[in-house]
Structure 1
Amino acid sequence: MRAFLAVDLPEEVVTDLDTFLGPRRESVASRREWRWTRAEHLHLTLAFLPDLDEWREEELIAQGEAFLARRGTTDLRLAGAGSFPDPGAARVLWAGVEESARGTLADWATGLRAVANHVGARVAGTRFRPHVTLARAVGRPHPAGHLLQALDTLRTPVWRADEVLLVASWLGQGPHGTPRYEVRHTWSVGEGAEPA
């Protein structure tokens, strides 16, 4: 199955983000250059597993549990914006992430990717850069400098990241041909950590 490990956004952050994005989406809607991420699909990906064998899932859950139990939580907020690969020819628009305990998300991502590899799951992707995907280009890449200026003032409320999700993604099974997500497991972070 196609799956990913992610930090979910709380409802109040999604609502705040949706309110912020509303006028910015409307300002470019007529050009139909961007497909905006549905609110229920907003998340911060730590690891992408393009083809997770279901028989490996139980071991991934057990080893992920052990890893995350020894990690500390962090406070997050979405702040600013950027694009991949660059503003002149963007394929993806994203919101940046600020964390109170700098490096925590990178530690989670590195460790969980190692856990996934250890249980035999293939991990796809490049160097981890914490972000939340806001929109993808329709067709070819598009210049995005004007949008990034408008998105750069983004600042959501702060929330505590204390859970990581294992999510299955079923392509084309959601509304309007979007993916359908199914949360397969939720790990609590820091349950076995020593108090500071």
Structure 2
Amino acid sequence: MIRTFIAIAIPETVRQQIGKLQTELKTIGGKVRWVKPDSMHLTLKFLGEVPEGDIEKIGNQVQQAIESVEPFALQIVGSGCFPNSKRPRVLWLGISGRADVLKKLAERIEANLVKLGFRRERREFTPHLTLGRVKSISGIAPLIEKMGLLDFDSEPFEVREILVMKSDLKPTGAEYSVLRKIPLSSN
């Protein structure tokens, strides 16, 4: 079984910007498990444990879902907490640019994967990058306050492909690898 998800890669230059932001936020304190910048990606659909033999079918359904979608621009902007700032569990950065295209893309991918028996998400797709996971809300207030005041804008970047990814859970954190790259349409 392979722990699988569908994602968009974040360019190295943008991950470096996010790494600098994390370094600044870490000085404020609070118990947070920070996501390593090298591991950052934009998840479109988490599939969970999948038989190895199904990976090709998954890739084919994703390819079919995106076949008429042309490359589009995104930017990482803004920040917040899930589920809310009173009881934060996830610190996130937001997405702007062609978020309309991104949402439509995620919907099409999900619809095609439902055909393979994957469950439809209960919650609406909320595009974001996970910055960190709060381990304890004790002493987290100054960091949450800073998150609310952040004025973070990454450089814009172009999405040219969708990735079928593998996640290996290790004691040091998840390790990700690409199973398949599916280019967007160049029409």
Report the aligned-residue RMSD.
1.9
Structure 1's unaligned 5+ residue stretches are: none
Q: Specify the alignment match of 2:173 in structure 1.
A: 178
**Contact 1:94–1:135 at 8 Å: present in 2 too?**
yes
Q: Structure 2 CA distance, aligned partners of 1:124 and 1:171?
A: 22
**Aligned counterpart for 1:129 among listed residues 126, 129, 144:** 126
Shift of 1:164: 1.0
Q: Structure 1 CA distance, aligned partners of 2:99 and 2:172?
A: 37
Are positions 1:48 and 2:46 aligned together?
A: yes
Q: Specify the alignment match of 2:144 in structure 1.
A: 145
Q: Structure 1 CA distance, aligned partners of 2:116 and 2:104?
A: 18
In the alignment of these two chains, the number of paired residues is 184
Shift of 1:111: 0.9
Q: Specify the alignment match of 1:39 in structure 2.
A: 37
Q: Specify the alignment match of 1:18 in structure 2.
A: 19
Q: Deviations over 1:107-150 (max 9, x none)?
A: 11111111222123345562101100000011468545313134
For 1:128, the aligned partner's letter is: F
Q: Structure 2 CA distance, aligned partners of 1:129 and 1:9?
A: 17
Pair 1:125–1:185, CA change in 2 (3 A): farther
SS at match of 1:13: helix
Q: Structure 1 CA distance, aligned partners of 2:51 and 2:121?
A: 14
SS at match of 2:27: helix
Q: Deviations over 1:135-170 (max 9, x none)?
A: 0011468545313134x2110100001111111111
Are positions 1:119 and 2:120 aligned together?
A: no
Pair 1:10–1:17, CA change in 2 (3 A): same
**Aligned counterpart for 1:65 among listed residues 63, 66, 74:** 63
Q: Specify the alignment match of 1:103 in structure 2.
A: 100
For 2:131, the aligned partner's letter is: L
Q: Structure 2 CA distance, aligned partners of 1:44 and 1:188?
A: 16
Shift of 1:84: 0.3
Structure 2's unaligned 5+ residue stretches are: none
Deviates more, 1:83-92 or 1:65-74: 65-74
Q: Percent identity?
A: 24
SS at match of 1:103: helix
Write 1 or 2 for the structure with the bigger share of strand. 2
For 1:14, the aligned partner's letter is: R
Q: Structure 2 CA distance, aligned partners of 1:51 and 1:118?
A: 17
Alignment TM-score, normalising by the size of structure 1: 0.86
Pair 1:102–1:146, CA change in 2 (3 A): closer
